[in-house]
């Protein structure tokens, strides 16, 4: 089937691959809480990097009404095999009744950066 594709499609197809790397998203109600969760994830070797993005305006349904809040977004870079422990750590340290904790698979990226993520979460 690959031989039937045009040259540009063949190149694109060869480059695409799925990785075991993931970005986990969660939001917190304060900078202090964001820092506490980030530090715990790093110290437990569950994340290679955690970006804390300040002043994210969130609008959401909660208890049958629309709410808004200013939050701090965490972008947690890790590997899929660590997701369950990342989720458990977020739940353990988070002040929300129902903290967001979703994983987005990284389909592709710089080989060196993806290797760094994997090396950083090894015990």
Quick: pLDDT tens for 38-69. 999 999 999 999 999 999 999 999 999 999 99
pLDDT tens digits, 9-31: 555 555 556 799 999 999 999 99
Whether 83 is covered by a domain: the verdict is yes
Whether 1 is covered by a domain: the verdict is no
Whether 6 is covered by a domain: the verdict is no
Whether 7 is covered by a domain: the verdict is no
Whether 11 is covered by a domain: the verdict is no
At 83, which CATH number? 3.30.70.120
**pLDDT on residue 2:** 46
Whether 82 is covered by a domain: the verdict is yes
Whether 81 is covered by a domain: the verdict is yes
Percent of the chain topping pLDDT 90: 85
At 123, is the pLDDT very low, low, confident or very high (cuts 50, 70, 90)? confident
In the sheet where 49-62 sits, what is the strand order?
49-62, 65-79, 21-28, 102-105
pTM of the full structure? 0.85
DSSP string, 41-109: HHHTT--SEEEEEEEEEEEEEETTEEEEEEEEEEEEEEEGGGHHHHHHHHHHH--SSS---EEEE----
Residue 3: pLDDT over 50: no
Whether 12 is covered by a domain: the verdict is no
What domain range is 107 assigned to? 17-120
Query: What does the alpha-carbon distance between residue 40 and residue 94 come to, in Å, rounded to a whole number?
Result: 11
> What is the number of structural domains in the chain?
1
């Amino acid at each position: 089937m690959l031989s039937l594709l045009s040259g540009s499609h063949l190149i694109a197809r060869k480059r695409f691959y799925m990785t075991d790397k993931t970005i986990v998203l969660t939001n917190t109600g304060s900078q202090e809480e964001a820092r506490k969760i980030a530090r715990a994830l790093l110290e437990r070797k569950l994340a290679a990097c955690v970006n804390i993005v300040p002043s994210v305006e969130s609008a959401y349904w909660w208890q049958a009404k629309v709410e808004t809040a200013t939050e701090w977004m965490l972008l947690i870079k890790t590997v899929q095999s660590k997701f369950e422990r990342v989720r458990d750590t977020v739940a353990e340290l988070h002040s929300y009744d129902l903290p967001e904790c979703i994983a987005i698979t990284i389909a592709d990226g710089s080989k060196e950066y993806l290797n760094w993520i994997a090396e950083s979460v090894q015990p």
